[in-house]
Amino acid sequence: MIILADGSGGIDPAGLTAVERDIYEQKTNSPTPFHFESAEALRFELRLRANIVKAAIALERSHAGFATFSKSRANRNYWKRLDNGGFLLHPNVLPADAIRDIYENGDAYGFECATAIVIVLYKAVLDTIGETAFNRLFGNLQLYSWEHDSDMPLVTQDNNHESFAGDVLYYSNPDYDPRTPQWQGENVVKLTGDRLFGHGIGIEAEDVIIRHLNNHRRPGSKVSAYLFDRITYPDFYAIYRETKAANSGAPYIRRWPDGWIAGRVGSKTQVFTGQPPVLNA
């Protein structure tokens, strides 16, 4: 269920896109309480989730290639390739321009699924908040793995029983062939219906994702790939607040809800909680 802090009953779904409306109805009908500061904050999450779906589909259509970290590639006019296979934004390049270039010149790029997740999230945020706020908030972009080097505030929960379009899921392949370690798992973006986007596999249903990973197990293995018990998504409320601060020019200090544990892995803030999100469900 959706609960707004002002006690109002929700928002008019007539003004939502089809993807936004599906997410709104799914959360409204869920037994899990999802708390929002305001109707504006709720609309922001719905819009960003819908843009994550769009960004994932667009990346699949961009012709950006799949490559291991050791063989990754990027447009040198925008990015410096690092020794670990990640990409660092050139200091004279605007972040928004560099992210757009991946979508416009996909043939110049090759990266793993973890990097693809970072790119999708950044593109979705760019499309949601606009380039002025984006350039201010993400001035030192580094694309590597969302688990290590993303400046995107993320929330990770150990629960895959209820997910929504725009969530990031992970399929683990525990008995992967050591000759192809890139297929030890697949990060995917949940789209609408039963569709999932996994870079290097495409837009497919769950059974296709699992079958692809199973084709890269140790010879003779009977241990199947499976959906890992974890969901990750942007900290919608933090991005919403930071965007408002960026547009106003005022500084903003992120405050986590009581009872949450925040930690940094690389340059990324990660939040873990055993309970449903309070502010940015």
> How does pLDDT run across 187-227, given as a tens digit for each residue?
999 999 999 999 999 999 999 999 999 999 999 999 999 99
Q: Per-residue pLDDT averaged across 3-29, rounded?
A: 90
pLDDT over threshold 70, residue 175:
yes
Rg (CA), the chain: 19
Does pLDDT of 156 surpass 50? yes
Please report which confidence band the pLDDT of residue 250 belongs to, taking 50, 70 and 90 as the band edges. Answer: low
- Give the CB-side neighbour count of residue 63, counting CA atoms within 13 A: 6
pLDDT cut 70: percent of the chain above it: 86
Higher per-residue pLDDT: 245 or 119: 119
**Predicted local confidence at residue 271, as pLDDT:** 41
Helix axes 113-129, 236-248, angle to 10 degrees: 50
pLDDT tier at 264 (50, 70, 90 boundaries)?
very low
pLDDT confidence of residue 147? 58
- Strand order of the β-sheet with 79-81 is 79-81, 87-89, 142-143
pLDDT of residue 248: 77
* Model pTM score: 0.88
